[in-house]
Amino acid sequence: MSSTWKMTGSALALAAAVLATSAAQAQTKPATTAAKPAAPANQQAATPEAMFGRWDKDKNNVLSMTEFKNGWQEVQANMVLRQLHETFVAMDANKSGAIESSEYAGLELVKRAGASAPPMSNFDLDKNQRLDFKEYVGMVRTMAKPKPKG
């Protein structure tokens, strides 16, 4: 099979629908005082044509398997980012737009780690004693990594 192929309209429409659904779900959530991350460029226009244009990096009107895989990975990464943001907003009990130490203790990853959980200060890059969304994502990346056996 060739490593390049024209994406069928139905496959591209499915990918666009995934993005559109994700964006629509985020817009139907009640407004909070927490700052939402800006929508990535690949979610600002979720039409099949716009998506194809973003994914077709060499602009030859054909998606290589690599272009498709990279585009699909981007879609998946954005869905994970949205889920992380929803969790962040839900755990921000006082709706301050940040995770404070009392809220940090209630995070699932922190509870699971128990006494071995790193202190919040390890992730508080600006040392303001609270985690903004970017710091929270860094904390999740660090704490969710599988521990090496040994």
Residue ranges per domain, the chain?
1-83, 92-150
Distance CA 36, CA 33 (A): 9
Kindly indicate the confidence band of residue 146, based on its pLDDT and cuts at 50, 70 and 90.
Answer: confident
Distance CA 134, CA 138 (A): 6
What are the beta bridge partners of residue 4? 64
Fold of 92-150: Recoverin; domain 1 (1.10.238)
Collapse the DSSP code of 5 into the 3-class scheme (helix H, G, I; strand E, B; otherwise coil) and give the result. Answer: strand
Distance CA 9, CA 145 (A): 37
Judged against a pLDDT cut of 50, whether residue 3 lies above it is answered with no
Phi, psi of 132 (to 5 degrees): -80, 180
Kindly indicate the confidence band of residue 12, based on its pLDDT and cuts at 50, 70 and 90.
Answer: low
Which one is predicted more confidently, 127 or 150?
127
Q: Is the pTM of this model over 0.85?
A: no
Judged against a pLDDT cut of 60, whether residue 10 lies above it is answered with no
Collapse the DSSP code of 59 into the 3-class scheme (helix H, G, I; strand E, B; otherwise coil) and give the result. Answer: coil
